[in-house]
Amino acid sequence: MATHGISGNGKIPKQILYTAAAAGVLIAGNAVYKELTKYNLQDKVVLVTGGSRGLGLVLCRLLAKKGAKLAVCARSVDQIERGVKELRDQGAQIIGIPANVQDVTQATQAVNETIRHYGRLDVLINNAGTVQVGPVQTMTMLDFEEAMKTNFWAALYTTFAALPQFKKQNEGRIVNISSIGGKIAVPHLLPYTASKFALTGFSEGLHAELSKSNIHVLTVIPHLMRTGSTRNITVKGDHEAEYAWFKLSDSSSLMAMDVGLSARKIIRSLEYGKSETILGVTAKLATIANGLAPGWVTALLTLANRFLPASKPGGLRAKKGFEAESPKSQGPVAAKTDRASVENNEL
């Protein structure tokens, strides 16, 4: 009796061979096409908000190696100076722009200053962000407003400021750094989650509308990244316990991605014209699970919330992460995040 798919004389039928050959040609052709149409970052002008530290700084390091001309903006003049000096010492062509992109005037000025200096703008990376950790009963309207200003409105302001230049050039690229928190509502991160949901929706819709104008929008959905930024988050509730679970999660190899790997994947997604990239196995599995069985994911998050710290007297007070350090948030695992803080200008 002949084996299924193989003729009686042991030969593979020609139809199968032809199909396999055609598939191979298609795969090879697609790979060649992707390389031929790859976005070349050499001499492209790139503005990175929040580019003086953390993920923004790591992205700038990679962009500089690819020959991009950089503009970075951030609120801290000291951090801008340190970040710009590091990149310039490595040969980068870069300017630093002190700006609070929560303010529409300053956000617009940052974009305009980039265009004035370089004569054009090719890529806008909306990376500036803020994180508040704590139970919802400790959060105020001001906490939600702060998250929305940084994580959503700032990206909106810079995008609207850049669009006239992109349309004038008949080309432009926008990269919006959202979060898995913009796909799935995470307990004890509600201001962050609400603002990232807004950014994700805006970014996805923007891509759909602007593609016809040759303006490409990439939505980035990372899980935790070991940037060292935990020391600059805002903590409420049981400050030490809240900071400990967040920092240890950020330090864990299982829960958090290396920021260098994350940055390389973001740049690669920009170069190959992807409209969305989800970073990390955990984020990918969580997104798939939420799409297939949202009720189960909600149940798991509800269960996880039972193990998160309850508030305590004084929990309404906001502290920075470094102010909430304790023995709970120190040790060999947490040391990974401490090293990342030094490496990525988070101090």
pLDDT band per the 50, 70, 90 thresholds, residue 2:
very low
pLDDT band per the 50, 70, 90 thresholds, residue 1:
very low
User: Quick one: pLDDT at residue 347?
Assistant: 81
Span of 130-134, 252-256, 308-312 with lowest mean pLDDT = 252-256
User: Quick one: pLDDT at residue 35?
Assistant: 62
Residues recognised as catalytic: 192
What is the residue-averaged pLDDT of the chain?
Answer: 92
Q: CA 90, 96, 102, 105: dihedral to nearest 10 degrees?
A: -150
pLDDT band per the 50, 70, 90 thresholds, residue 255:
confident
Give the tens place of pLDDT for each residue, 86-101.
999 999 999 999 999 9
Q: For residues 60 and 83, give the distance between their C-alpha atoms in angstroms, rounded to a whole number.
A: 9
CATH number of 38-343: 3.40.50.720
Domain ranges of the chain: 38-343
For the cut 90, the answer to whether the pLDDT of residue 23 exceeds it is no
Evaluate whether 51 touches 70 at the Cβ level (below 8 Å): yes
Beta-carbon neighbour count of residue 129 at 10 Å?
Answer: 24
pTM as predicted? 0.90
* Interstrand relation of 319-320 and 234-235 (parallel, antiparallel or unpaired): antiparallel
pLDDT, average across residues 194-199:
98
User: Quick one: pLDDT at residue 22?
Assistant: 64
Give the tens place of pLDDT for each residue, 278-335.
998 989 999 999 999 999 999 999 999 999 999 999 999 999 999 999 999 999 999 9
